[in-house]
Amino acid sequence: MIRTLGFLAGALTTLAFIPQVVKAWRTGSTADLSLTMLSVFAAGLSLWIVYGVATRQAPVIVTNVVTLILAIALLALKLGFVRRSD
């Protein structure tokens, strides 16, 4: 039951990032996204993954890996669009 709760919580926080990635991709604009926030957030996610591996907590590992991928996608879009439109 606790593991399911962990996956559910992680899934919800991960899903929250998807609309932002889709919007940035479609509009080609990341002007409203802070590069510092995205960088610090990605670093925090990386540490959560290390913590999850160290404590062998699959919900922490899986959901943070997926969220990190989304955060990296936003960072890539931000860095790519900085040169073009920001």
Nearest CA to 73 out of 32, 10, 17, 27 is that of 17
Query: Measured in whole angstroms, how far is the alpha carbon of residue 77 from the centre of its chain?
Result: 13
Q: Does domain 2-84 have CATH number 1.10.600.10?
A: no
Distance CA 82, CA 74 (A): 12
Could you read off the pLDDT of 5-36 as tens digits, one per residue? 988 988 898 899 899 989 988 988 888 889 99
Tokens of 53: 């591996």
83 confidence band (pLDDT: 50, 70, 90): low
pTM value?
Answer: 0.82
Residue extents of the structural domains in the chain: 2-84
